[in-house]
Amino acid sequence: MEMDRFCRLRGRPPAAPSGARARGALCATLALLAAVGVAACGSSSTKTTLTIGDWGAPINEATEKSYLKPFDAENHTSFAFVDAPGEQEARVEAQNKAGKIEWDGLDSVGGGAAYALAAKHQLASLPAATKTELERELTPKNVTPWGFAHANLGYVIVCLTAKMTTCPANATQFFDTKAFPQSRMFGGIEPIEEATEAEVAAGMPISATATAPVNVGRVIKTLEPLKPYIKVFWQSGEQQVQVMRSGQVDMGIMWSNRAYELAAEGVKVKIVWAQGVYEPSFWTVLAGAPHVQTAFKLLSFIAAHPKNEARWAQEVHVSVPNPKALEYIPKSFAGQLADNPVNYDQLAVPNFSWYALHGTELNTAYENFLRG
């Protein structure tokens, strides 16, 4: 208690005693006490503050409640969010260009952006022991050399049953405009998922998409016959819901969480996972981050707490990587998640490594396709 009081009052000089010797002795004593006091004050109040590039509400709230607060309590840390929805990659590149890395980690950065940052060596490599630990908790398919998949979706087919008595059973049928001439919506943003869907529709097995180079010419050739039937190229999840809710199209490709959101509203839909596309996001640590080792500890903490992952998934309605998390989620809800093996085994995984190196080629071709 006296030391705490000294910490609060150490800036106030005491009255000096008479005599040079007494003054010298007192100064020496005060100097010693000050040194001890400053050290003690620092050790009792200093915390490591992790800065996370995040998405804003409601993801921040779920991340704080499920992961950061429990981690802080165990590790004497604090955290700060920087909201950067859709801008995480650009903001990290700007920090690297300025030579000042201000963030420690990224919460659920999209697959295309994550792999692009990794290709530029802007993400920290996992220590070998941490990588082994993550693979044990999450399975190797969910772990990369620089992080792990988290906040994962499926691109699924959704049909309005009031308009369609039969829904395409897979992506191949979705691209068959003779059998299914109804109106459609399709993704109009980052095209690696759309390209993967087109490759599958053109005959590529879903088991090959993660490693096969994307044939850009074949993708565009496969998409061209479909284009007259696509009435909306969506730009966001909210637009997906609005278009289907209003009946503007008869069927479309949607993010799985948005598809089930639509169903929860009471809209009569059929949701098809077969030959869909897996869209992962990633927890990762920035190369040169202020608190790299503490950030790695956070990743390990998240991976090792499936109950917390289950809570996060239910709050945000997005899938999480730990297989044990499914044990803490109601079966009806678990059936809506992309990492549920029943769903995951039907999905094609994009070749994000290829996209990180050739994204400009695909993006340009897709933009020309949209404008043409």
Q: pLDDT tens digit string along 86-115?
A: 899 999 999 999 999 999 999 999 999 999
Q: What is the mean pLDDT of the chain?
A: 90
Count: domains in the chain = 3
Q: Is 142 in the same domain as 164? A: no
Q: Is 200 in the same domain as 109? A: no
Rounded to whole angstroms, the Cα distance separating 349 from 192 reads 10
Q: Is 175 in the same domain as 266? A: yes
Q: pLDDT tens digit string along 115-164?
A: 999 999 999 999 999 999 999 999 999 999 999 999 999 999 999 999 99
- Contact predicate 204/350, CB 8 Å: no
Q: Is 134 in the same domain as 196? A: no
Asked whether the CA dihedral 199, 203, 209, 213 is positive or negative, the reply is: negative
Decide if pLDDT at 232 tops 90.
yes
Q: Is 116 in the same domain as 159? A: no
Confidence of residue 45 (pLDDT cuts 50, 70, 90): low
Decide if pLDDT at 37 tops 70.
no
Name residue, tokens 């016959």. 225
The per-residue pLDDT for 35 is: 40
Is the peptide bond between 58 and the residue preceding it cis, with omega within 30 degrees of 0? yes
Q: Please list the residues that pair with 57 across neighbouring strands.
A: none
344 is a domain residue: no
State the CATH number of the domain containing residue 222: 3.40.190.10
Decide if pLDDT at 25 tops 60.
no
Q: Is 223 in the same domain as 117? A: no
Q: Please list the residues that pair with 252 across neighbouring strands.
A: 158, 185
Residue 318, Ramachandran bin (φ over 0: left; ψ between -120 and 50: alpha; else beta): beta
pTM attached to this predicted model: 0.86
Q: Is 241 in the same domain as 366? A: yes
Q: Is 55 in the same domain as 169? A: no
345 is a domain residue: no
Q: Is 121 in the same domain as 249? A: no
174 is a domain residue: yes
Residue 253 buriedness (CB in 10 A; 0-12 / 13-18 / 19+): buried
Instruction: Note down the domain range covering 173.
Output: 153-279+350-371
Q: Is 290 in the same domain as 272? A: no
